[in-house]
Structure 1
Amino acid sequence: MSVAGIIAEYDPFHNGHLLHLRETKAFSPDGVVVVLGGNFTQRGAPAAFPKRVRAKMALAAGADLVLELPLPFSMARAETFASGGVEFLASLGVVDTLSFGSECGDLSLLQRAAEAVDSETTQAGIRRLLQSGMSYAAAREAAVCERYGEAVAAVLRTPNDILGVEYLRACRRLAPALESRAVLRQGAAHNAAQPSGRIASASRLREALFAGEPVRDFVPAKTVSVLEEAVRAGLAPASFAGLEAGVLAFLRTAPDALAHVPDFSEGLANRIAKAARTARTLEELYDTAKTKRYAHARIRRAVWSAYLGVRESDAQGGVPYIRVLGFSERGASLLQTAAGRAAKPMALRASDIRRLDARAERMFSLECAAADVHALLRPRRGVCGEEMTEPLIRV
């Protein structure tokens, strides 16, 4: 079999994603598996589109099987996000290639960067530079540059290449047999403010959706109906604005919750708790707490992790089960094959998880909480319990 895996958020799925998916399908004729981030994202914010809407987009565009990356991995720093996704693909037992987008498109250079970051020399340099007050990202880049040169360090400046390096590091640790393919990113950059031709970044599309602007020129014809139906139904775009007073109230009255979040530091927790005492909006809190060392994304992840009850220990021990969101006819065949090969329990229904161990139950309870909170952030607010009732997506 020749099956590729993609780790993605697709918030929303756009023409650039379609190009990546098509190229991946060209070298993986037996199927493409997508590990999809859930209702809260790696950037530390609620997804604009619910995970099942994004799963429908991926399947409509040609993906064969969509799995859910659990909350402690989907809303996490790049290293944890990548490790969870790679472990997921490897444990499925049918994926032989990891495909990811890249600004440089140079797999050899990305592999050199992954090896450089993993080296003890670099790790020692990172620790030294962190003590001087640098952010982790700046310290990592500087430490790599010192020992391995500018060309290798340069790939640690662009978002997709940074994730690519983390994917390769995770493969070295968790899935050495998994082949990797770096697909050159085309069109607008990751956070570009303006489109390039018919390709716009996901962040630009989210801004357009919040402003009520049309986006269909930048979304594949096969998925635009899914996107527009979600908007008409009031499922998207989700925004934290309707809940920010509650989040601020939580941080003001329960600051100790910050002591248990992933990527914890006492300095960060103190800055967030102090900022919460005067901030009137979450954006004001993020700006007040931000320093050279503590970037916006890290602050956002800490705030939402505290609010949702995600702890540092939740990502330890890896992914406890494989949650299926949807599949095509070919994806159904992949599932049948995976059933006899998977290294972790397969979960097609909530009841499948309920029969597993306490750690799986804990992970699922976090997903339920995230879904219930996300339902309040949508234009048309939803009720609790969709994790227990939403059916599998079949196309």
Structure 2
Amino acid sequence: MLPYRIFLAFAAPAFAWRLVRERGAAAERLGGHGPAGGARGPVIWLHAASNGELASARALIGAILDRLPGARMVVTCNTLTGRDFARGWGLDRVAVRLAPLDYHATLRRFIAAWQPDALILVESELWPNRLAEMAARGRPVLVLGARMSERSFARWARLPGLVRPMMGRISYLSAQDAGARARFVALGLDEAKAGPVVDLKSAARPAAAPDPDARAALAPHFPRAETLLAASTHEGEDREVLTGFAKAHAARPELRLILAPRHPRRAPEIAAQIARLRLPFATRSRGEAPGHDTAVYLADTMGEMALWYDLAGITFVGGSLVDRGGHTPYEPAGHGSAILHGPHVANFAGVYAALDADGAARPVAGADDIARALDQIDENAQAAMAARATRIIAAQQQAGAGLDPLLAALGRLIGEPGLTATKGTDHG
């Protein structure tokens, strides 16, 4: 743990500056803002990085609340946007906070306030001191939907003095694929604590419905068969998408692009790229309405992805032309949108492989492939791809183990057998 303590010491000024920038967030980062009080029941602490990880855990959170009517949850995340996203669910018995910094003092303050009976870490959120503080109190730590790429494995393997104690403090781990499970075991996880492979995202709830008024206002400007959505793009992807779209648009001026960056703060640099390509555009955050000649709509807002998916006949899934592991195919498929993706899809490797094999998704390597796809995938092809994707994803969800093994493990570890009993209430 010495290297990690040294890291935290050097990182302290950066964390302090972050507290200054995040006005009103310091108390939460330092472990404050505990519960308001009330009846004592099981308290589950669930931590996820940001929007994507929170979305993958949404069905799990609903199932815990459903099966344990007396339970409360405190959900923490690393970002302000993630906090706003989870608060937007409006769930009773769920408090949402920014995660306490991974220092012993802040964690002790947080744990003393909330008294969590268990900690659930989602995907790859492994924080050494959080594990240590919970384990020191004899409270279980579960890692669900756990991700471990080959590259991450190589990094962790170089720090055995840090990683082996961490693995020893994990009470239960369910990886999202067999390769990740094997890598966790190789790093020192007791194989008896490695549960079945369950991809949390495969248990996601049905696709959210868009705001009907917003859809009615925008639909005339975005004919679905002629509209491409670039969803959750990262730096390095926008140029490829825009270049490919511009090439296709020159031949088919009726084409439209909705570009929704993963981080809306990047909107000014993206707007500059659009302007350089001389494509007429409007920016959502500025309240600019698209006109009859608007080729690109810069959708630089949060919380409207369901609207963009619903308007687009084709979706390019971001985080896949650059090495970010790729974002979810479940949401575009849920809205009946044909799927394009780049080569970097490790976060959803199994489902993308199945989609590609059946022609339900199409891999692209850059601008030329995107332009070619827009030329070739007409309205009928879009519908056929979407139908195949719906079938494949439904089959994968039915074949998967679902949430029951995860809920049963949590129930066993905190002495709550009610978690194994299925109920029907929806916490939507």
TM-score, normalized by length of structure 1?
0.27
Larger Rg: 2
- Structure having greater relative contact order (Cα 8 Å, sep ≥ 6): 1
Question: How does the TM-score come out when normalised to structure 2?
Answer: 0.26
Higher strand residue share: 2
